[in-house]
């Protein structure tokens, strides 16, 4: 799953990178094994942190990208009301779209990161100071 990143580090420091171009993981494959609960938690939190770092870096580098990406880079957040089956179907459709665009790099390409997650959330209760009366 990992390989040495020979472009980083020095003789004393060794850096590692993912050996694959994407990661697709089903939590259900790991959740029933009590020995994997802690490593799964660490892994998922690491993925979330890496996503944050990638997006934060892009925001810090906005001036560099503005000539070509000013109207093309997207940050999207959608809150939907779905059944688990609908969420799974939507995720499969998103995966299919991503797979359609997957190809070897060509001249003029940029490395583009596409993050995708779909997960349930408990609704947050309304705070009394923001609730509308009427």
Mean pLDDT of 35-58: 88
- Reply yes or no on whether the pLDDT at 131 is more than 60: no
By percentage, how much of the chain surpasses pLDDT 70?
Answer: 82
Q: What six digits make up the tokens of 93? A: 């459709």
The DSSP code sequence of 12-72 is S---EEESSS-----GGGTTT-GGGHHHHHHHHHHHHHHHHHHHHHHHHTHHHHHHHHTTT
Domain ranges of the chain: 16-101
Please give the model's pTM, rounded to 2 decimal places. Answer: 0.68
Q: What six digits make up the tokens of 94? A: 């998103």
């Amino acid at each position: 799953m990992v390989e040495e990143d020979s472009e980083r580090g020095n003789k004393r420091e060794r850096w590692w990178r993912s050996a694959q171009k994407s990661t697709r993981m089903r939590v259900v494959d790991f959740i029933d094994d009590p020995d994997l609960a802690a490593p799964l938690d660490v892994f998922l939190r690491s993925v979330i942190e890496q996503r944050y770092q990638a997006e934060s870096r892009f925001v810090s580098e906005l001036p560099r990208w503005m000539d070509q990406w000013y109207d093309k880079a997207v940050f999207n957040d959608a809150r939907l009301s779905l059944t688990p089956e609908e969420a799974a179907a939507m995720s499969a459709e998103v995966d299919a779209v991503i797979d359609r665009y997957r190809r070897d790099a060509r001249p003029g390409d940029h490395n583009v990161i596409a993050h995708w997650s779909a997960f349930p959330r408990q609704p947050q209760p309304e705070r009394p100071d923001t609730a509308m009366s009427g």
